[in-house]
Amino acid sequence: MSEAPSHRSSSLGGIPDLVCLGRTRWLSVFQRPQQLMTRYARNRRVFFVEEPIFDDTPATRITIDVHDGVHVVVPHVPRAFGETESIPARRAALDQLLARERITRYVLWYCTPLALRFSSHLAPAGVAYDCIEELSTSSGAATELPALERELLRRADVVFAGGLALYEARKAQHPNIHAVPSAVDVVHFAAARQHGPDPPDQKPIPHPRLGFFGALDERLDIPLLQGLADARPDWQLVMIGPVVTIEGRHLPRRPNIHYLGPRAYADLPRYIGGWDVALLPFARNEATRFISPTRTAAYLAAGRPVVSTSIRDVISPYGELGLVYIADTVTEMMRACNAALREPVEFRRTRADAFLSGMSWERTWSRTAALLDAATVPAAPQPSQTARAASGA
């Protein structure tokens, strides 16, 4: 990793630097923060601050590496530190970053209100809050999260809601909040339509394959998965993703359920291309009340028929447009999957492609950039009437 500061100006062309306080590893999954930050890095310095690594460092320090033009900052915190001690350590890591990189004029971009615990002392030129999920309903959510979000909403100059349900829940809480749903990398996932050889770990799995990719956590409808696997032992359920927030022993174990673990973003089209149906088997609970699954669009871009439970941001617009089957019970799921399996390959691709044409990450970024600049970059001073008159204008 690079340890040398960049020694560049604090902002390029008058545009402030962007310091994004993330809640994931940059290289874990290439999602909304990565899609947006790589585009912001085209015309300004962007620093993505990861969650800390607890290791054998004797004192808090940071390392920086550059990925896709973004300075990825990793705070290293002594292993002996607990939750309480780690907060001032993360504050010190941020101070190190600002001093070392000569960051003097910057916008703070929050991916989680929890980052306020170690950043509230800073004096940014602006604050943006990208609200991409309802963290307060997650398993093990911090008790102070609602209070921290209220404080972040008070400080923020602009708020982006990653889905319509999130926007509806917060639209009365901030005067400058905007629904900006996540997009899809259509070209990336469309590669699944030219399906080549299966990856080695998927190749031995028979057809028909019903697949899912994403975090395996409390948002999954585990009884539904188990019931579907038991009712149709000839159907193979392929589950790709890390097990998080729940213990692996809570996942149903059946001969026809295959847990392949996390896979790189670049490899996902190879897996999806070998599926017969793509699933969104989410539970209907507090953890899923506000989710807006971006993989819905990814599945459609990959050319797969999609079956989902009745998640609000899937029903509208995908279910209402007839692009996705909606099913909640085992019986409904079997019926929907049977229909999807019988569906001709090109049955809904034309309509899906037309819908996806308006969902590019470039368009999403452009919208957030315009709103961010309007909220945080002062307008250029206009010449006074006297000055215009003196110049003969």
Residue with the bigger pLDDT between 376 and 271: it is 271
Residue 154 has a pLDDT of: 97
Q: Which of 241, 246, 253 is nearest to 213 (CA)?
A: 241
> In this structure, what DSSP letter does residue 242 have?
-
Q: Of 24-33, 65-74, 227-236, which gets the smallest average pLDDT?
A: 24-33
Residue with the bigger pLDDT between 145 and 232: it is 232
Residue 287 has a pLDDT of: 75
Residue 291 has a pLDDT of: 79
Give the span between the Cα atoms of 5 and 96, in whole angstroms: 11
280 DSSP β-pair partners: 308
Q: pLDDT tens-digit profile of 365-381?
A: 999 999 999 998 776 55
Residue 379 has a pLDDT of: 60
Give percent of the chain above pLDDT 90.
70
Give the span between the Cα atoms of 137 and 285, in whole angstroms: 9
* pLDDT reading at 188 higher than 90: yes
Q: How does the average pLDDT of the chain come out, rounded?
A: 89
Residue with the bigger pLDDT between 53 and 386: it is 53
* E-only strand ranges, 23-152: 46-49, 53-55, 61-67, 70-78, 106-110, 126-131
Question: How distant, in Å, are the alpha carbons of 222, 261, 270, 286, 308 from that of 283?
Answer: 8, 20, 27, 9, 10
Q: Which residues contact 9 (CB under 8 A, 6 or more apart)?
A: none
Q: pLDDT tens-digit profile of 140-175?
A: 557 888 999 999 999 999 999 998 889 998 999 999
Instruction: Grade residue 137 by pLDDT with cuts at 50, 70 and 90.
Output: low
pTM of the model: 0.79
Question: How distant, in Å, are the alpha carbons of 88, 103, 179, 274, 342 from that of 156?
Answer: 22, 20, 15, 44, 49
* pLDDT reading at 329 higher than 70: yes
Q: Which of 387, 290, 365, 381 is nearest to 34 (CA)?
A: 365
Q: Which residues contact 163 (CB under 8 A, 6 or more apart)?
A: 132, 179, 181, 182, 290, 291, 292, 313
Give the span between the Cα atoms of 32 and 132, in whole angstroms: 9
Give the span between the Cα atoms of 291 and 215, in whole angstroms: 13
Residue 140 has a pLDDT of: 53
Give the span between the Cα atoms of 181 and 314, in whole angstroms: 12
Give the span between the Cα atoms of 246 and 235, in whole angstroms: 25
Instruction: Grade residue 319 by pLDDT with cuts at 50, 70 and 90.
Output: very high
Give the span between the Cα atoms of 50 and 41, in whole angstroms: 17
Give the span between the Cα atoms of 112 and 148, in whole angstroms: 9
Domains of the chain with bracketed CATH: 11-183+362-376 (3.40.50.2000), 186-355 (3.40.50.2000)
* pLDDT reading at 127 higher than 60: yes
- Helical axes 361-376 vs 32-40, angle rounded to 10°: 60
Residue with the bigger pLDDT between 233 and 382: it is 233
Residue 24 has a pLDDT of: 83
